[in-house]
Structure formats: C-alpha cells, structure tokens
C-alpha cells in the first residue's frame, strides 16, 4: 500500500469517528473530550502520527495538548510545540486487532483511564 492510500484511509476513518482533523507535518490533530479516568470531561487536543502504511502499522503513540504527564513516564517533547507532549505508548496487540482507527482510539481511551 502506498503512503497516500494509507494516510487517506487513516484520515477517512478518523473523520468517520466524528473528529474534525487538521494535518501538521504528518500528524493528524483534533479536539477530544476525555471520556474516562481522573480527567473525565477535560477538553484536550490529540495528535496522531499517520503511519504511511496504515493499516499495517498503528500510530506509535499519541501527542497531547496540554502536555499531560502519564503516571508511568515515557513522556517526551512533541514536534507540535512546547504546549504538547508525546506519550511513547505503542499498541502492543495491533497485529491481532481489527487494525482500525476505532481500535486505536479504544487503546487511547485505555491509556487515558490510567491517569
């Protein structure tokens, strides 16, 4: 699958989930209301690096603004700016999942539940 097809499909699925998406240097960004955990109801921005070979590969981890720290660490700076951070949280079960944006967002909600 070429990169344009993988990127287009990722964005199509993200929009089908109801997200208004903007692209910034290969990272899809969108508004998100935290649905679970200690920060439930908070409005954040999420950035997902769009893998060019999607659905073979998932995003490597989410970018968040504001720069929310994860209790297990592995939080780094983001190329999106100082108000953003990057959580290094790979989706370990991707190969055995449905390999969809919906499945990735379930993984992301699981990460948010850990806050």
Region 58-80 average pLDDT: 96
Of 79, 106, 78, the closest CA to residue 93 belongs to 106
pTM of the full structure: 0.93
Across the chain, mean pLDDT equals: 94
Please answer whether residues 75 and 87 qualify as being in contact, where contact means their C-beta atoms are separated by less than 8 angstroms. Answer: yes
Q: What pLDDT, on a 0 to 100 scale, did the predictor assign at position 5?
A: 75
Which residues, 6+ apart, have CB-to-CB distance to 54 below 8 Å? 1, 6, 7, 9, 10
């Amino acid at each position: 699958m070429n990169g344009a097809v993988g990127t287009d499909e990722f964005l199509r699925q993200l929009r089908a989930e109801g997200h208004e998406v903007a692209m910034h240097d290969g990272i899809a960004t969108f508004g998100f209301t935290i649905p679970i955990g200690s920060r439930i109801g908070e409005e954040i921005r999420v950035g997902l690096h769009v893998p060019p070979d999607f659905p073979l590969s998932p995003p490597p981890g989410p970018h968040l603004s504001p720069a929310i720290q994860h209790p297990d660490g592995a939080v780094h700076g983001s190329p999106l700016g100082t108000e953003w951070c990057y959580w290094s949280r790979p989706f370990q079960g991707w190969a055995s999942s449905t390999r969809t944006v919906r499945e990735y967002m379930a993984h992301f909600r699981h990460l948010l539940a850990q806050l």
